Amino acid sequence: MIKDILVCLEGSASTEAATRIAIGIARALSAQMAGLAIIDEPDIRAGAATSIGGASYKQERDDALVADAKKAADDWVALFEQRCRQAGVPARSLEIVGRPAESILTEMEAHHLTVIGRDANFRFETEAHDFRTLNSILHEAMRPVLLVPETTEPELNKTVLVAYDGSGAAKRAITSFAASGIAQGRDIHVATVDDNGVVGMEMAERGVAMLRAANVPAKAHNIVSVLSNIDALFKLAKELDAGLLVMGAFTRSRLRQLFSGSVTRGLVEQTEIPLYLQH
Amino acid sequence: MTTSTPTWAIAPFGLYLLLIATLPLFFGAFWEHNRNKLIVAALISAPVLIYLFSGGVGGGEVLLRTGVDYVSFIALLGALFTISGGIHLRGSLSGSSGANTGFLAIGAVLGSLIGTTGASVLLIRPLLRANERREYTTHIVVFFIFIVSNAAGLLTPLGDPPLFLGFLRGVPFTWTLRLAAPWALVNGVLLTLFTIFDRVILAREQRHPRRRSSTSPRGTSPVEPLHLDGAINLLWLLGIVVVVFVMGTYGTALFGDSYLRSVVQILGMVACAVLSLVTTKREIHLANRFSWAPIIEVAVVFVGVFVTMIPALSFLGERGASLGVTKPWQFFWASGALSSVLDNAPTYLTFASLAVGVTNSGGANLSVENLGALASHPTGQHLLAAVSCGAVFMGAITYIGNGPNFIVKSIAEQHHVRMPSFFGYTLWSFAILVPLFGIVSHIFF
């Protein structure tokens, strides 16, 4: 059962949605929350090609950006604490100076679930977008991550779709999801995507069996479709009116992803509902 | 004393320029301290000093001459830096496309009068304040770097350090005015392109206003009329122009001895700088965040440049013709390409010396110590024009090609402008500047 939720704080609309969803889960499970704000000083002060005479200007710029990042972190932490107080959820906050991916991965070890806005930019002082941080977390995290896009409804709804492909990550995702407490009282559907209907259905039934062993009832589906795996899953999620998609993250090696693409990356980029991911 | 410069003697120059470009990137904490910069300069310069004092080409005399040039160079940069640091443009404009273009046009002229660094530092903050309500301002800063920080500085020796180095070595003060046509073409095209860019982007912003996230805070300074504080410094600036022009044009007739002429010039510039410090209110220096750190850094780094370039320039003067660069358009692109990744001041001297070598191979008897003769030679003057344009214009191609580029980038980022990365900016410059320089090369060289 989830008792400690980490929310990674920054200023995007998806992080706002993530905080909202995390508060909802914390209230339902009587969990406590921790808000983590990161001041990415290493990247701000990283060496850069400078012109002659530019070193002092770089230092001035670095000092200004670090001060700005610190102020932003203070504001986000204050807002997070206020929202938790208003919701009646026990919470504490942390401000860490360090590289975002490393800081989050270290802090995640101490929490049952980490909630992140899908479009969060933890390196906002130096980059317009921050795919690198999320990529590192999803590839290396040992604990589950709940990724929340901006378009998420205020509360997680009743229906959950579990994408199951039989991989180690998918099994870990089902196991941790079943134990999390989020599954209680929800309609769970396990789906595979396989042109061989019989094989696909058998796979889906194995997923259902894993959930049933944890006292979580579920239904099996196999999708046979001309659409890509990503589009097929989204189509089914829409048909079921699913409010959460559970899956193993990055089940293929990076080399295979290089050549044949990544379902996880596609789902992360296109999803309009939260993703529960476990590597 | 030897009569031919050995090949190994040019290695310290090349190595030093490479270290200047790479040490801030890979050993930023080390390079941050001026003491460490001085140590690197001293270590790299040591073999050259030993060579010169052991009977190398030019010997102690060329070292003394170079020392005087160095002091003149730093005196000018320091004086312009001090005087422009005493001028503060308070208030803001409207941030309309017309106002932005006008601002850049003023910068295009000012750059040649107070130096591209002075013009950049003076104008960038008011321009950023004028546009702080805009969603997209990256293009404004990029074009500012193209125009005010680089192309603007072509018309006088005060405009860009390489041109002042040429002036110190005998190029007449008014010689660069003959480059008015390429100056006008480049700045005119860039201003036109900017106007189009800015209008398109402004129209898009007005059609689709975006909600800003709290990770992009922007100030909302009250709109107040523009006001120039520290206007007395315009007088001291005129003083610098008079000192440099008079010494350059009449100095020999007035003082004869070139060392005395240089000393009078240095004292004149220092006097203008001191007058600026004395007559400028402290509040103006605070508003400009004035500090001696940048000019101290320049002085420290250029010690190594001036010493190590002595044998390198001598080598190029002797054997330049054999290196395959002989036509004006080749000089334009070669000096430009190197200026884009190395500081454009030593690059200018490198290729000016190469031009001396090429001109000498055609029967002339010019010296790398006297670029004035090159500037008046029938073929040499075209090579020098190409080098001048290449070194000044193409300093805009990367953030490290010219001093003010990185300064403007840093100031813009403090104002929360999302500036491109090193390679992102280079894509901008390749897309816009390289085709334009192709036209310049075709028309003029």
CB-nearest to B291 from A11, A48, A56 is: A56
Average pLDDT of B214-234?
Answer: 69
pLDDT of residue B318: 78
Residue A156 makes CB contacts below 8 A (sequence gap 6+) with A21, A24, A25, A182, A243, A244, A274
Q: At A188, is the secondary structure helix, strand, or coil?
A: strand
How close A223 comes to chain B (CA, Å)? 39
d(CA B190, CA B194): 6
Which range among A226-235, B164-173, B246-255 has the greatest average pLDDT? B164-173
Q: Which residue of B has its CA nearest to A75?
A: B214
**Residue B246 token pair:** 């008079």
Average pLDDT of B248-266?
Answer: 84
Q: Determine what percent of chain A is predicted with pLDDT higher than 70.
A: 95
Torsion sign across C-alpha atoms B258, B117, B384, B311: positive
d(CA B187, CA B104): 9
pLDDT of residue B256: 77
Q: Please report, for chain A, how many H helices and E strands are present, in that order.
A: 10, 10
Does the predicted model carry a pTM greater than 0.90?
A: no
Torsion angle (degrees, nearest 10) of CA B224, B225, B230, B233: 140
- Give me the helices (H) in A124-226, please: 131-140, 168-180, 197-213
Q: Which residue of B has its CA nearest to A55?
A: B32
Judge whether A124 is closer than 8 Å to chain B, CB to CB: yes
Q: In this complex, do B27 and A56 lie within 8 Å of one another by their Cβ atoms?
A: no
d(CA B362, CA B382): 14
Q: At A146, is the secondary structure helix, strand, or coil?
A: strand
Q: Determine what percent of chain B is predicted with pLDDT higher than 90.
A: 55
**Residue A43 token pair:** 């990247």
Give A112-148 pLDDT, tens digit per residue.
999 999 999 999 998 888 888 998 998 888 899 999 9
Q: At B173, is the secondary structure helix, strand, or coil?
A: coil
Per CB-CB distance under 8 Å, the chain B contacts of A8 are none
How close B116 comes to chain A (CA, Å)? 13
Distance spanning both ends of chain A, measured CA to CA = 19
d(CA B243, CA B264): 9
Give B74-97 pLDDT, tens digit per residue.
999 999 999 999 998 887 677 788
d(CA A247, CA A236): 14
Give A193-203 pLDDT, tens digit per residue.
887 888 888 88
Average pLDDT of B188-209?
Answer: 91
Q: Which residue type does B198 have?
A: D
Q: Which residue of A has its CA nearest to B292?
A: A56
Q: At B20, is the secondary structure helix, strand, or coil?
A: helix
Q: In this complex, do A48 and B25 lie within 8 Å of one another by their Cβ atoms?
A: yes
Q: Which residue type does A3 have?
A: K
Give B290-302 pLDDT, tens digit per residue.
989 999 999 999 9
Instruction: Name the residue among A250, A4, A249 with its Cα closest to residue A109.
Output: A4
Q: Which one-letter DSSP state was computed for residue B81? A: H
Q: Which residue type does A170 have?
A: A
The conformational region for residue A88 under phi > 0 = left, psi -120 to 50 = alpha, else beta, is left
Residue B215 has pLDDT above 50, yes or no: no
Q: Which residue type does B205 have?
A: E
Distance spanning both ends of chain B, measured CA to CA = 39
d(CA A138, CA B272): 61
**Radius of gyration of chain A measured on its C-alpha atoms:** 20
CB-nearest to B213 from A12, A48, A52 is: A12
Tell me how long chain A is.
Answer: 279
Give A121-131 pLDDT, tens digit per residue.
999 998 888 88
